[in-house]
Amino acid sequence: MAIDDDLGDGRFSMGVRARGVKDRLEGRFMSKTSYSLACYMAVLGTLIVVPVSSHSQTSAVDVAAQVREQGYPCVHPVTAVRDVRSSRPNSAVWVLRCRNATYRVRLDPDMSARVTKLRSRHH
């Protein structure tokens, strides 16, 4: 690295060549646009992947809680599968399978869940 000129107050400025080396050492070899795009893609990838995986793991537990609030027993929720054909944009329909019964559950925003018992299982 070469020192280009004295700024007069005891500091020295670095030349273009020295700044290029410094930028590479500090990881600034990407343009601002490329860096912004890389950050955006990383965040977007996280937002897409995380909710899907966590949603599939917790949906049975969440729907079972709604069923229990309506007074229906759900012993150990096994699966909750979204009924895409019956669902509407603001009204999700799930088929919840518990160890003791199966329910169809309609979840509307700001309303109580509408629960229909499909079948009982007796051990």
Ranges of each domain in the chain:
53-120
Q: What phi, psi does 31 have (nearest 5°)? A: -70, 160
**Distance (Å, rounded) from C-alpha 93 to C-alpha 84?**
7
Q: Please tell me the predicted confidence (pLDDT) of residue 121.
A: 74
Q: Please tell me the predicted confidence (pLDDT) of residue 15.
A: 53
Mean pLDDT in residue range 13-23: 52
Mean pLDDT in residue range 53-64: 70
pLDDT in tens, 66-121: 999 999 999 999 999 999 999 999 999 999 999 999 999 999 999 999 999 998 87
pLDDT confidence of 49, banded at 50, 70, 90? very low
- The model carries a pTM of 0.52
Say yes or no to pLDDT of 9 above 90.
no
Q: Please tell me the predicted confidence (pLDDT) of residue 65.
A: 95
Q: Please tell me the predicted confidence (pLDDT) of residue 119.
A: 87
Say yes or no to pLDDT of 21 above 60.
no
Residues contacting 110, CB < 8 A, separation 6+: none
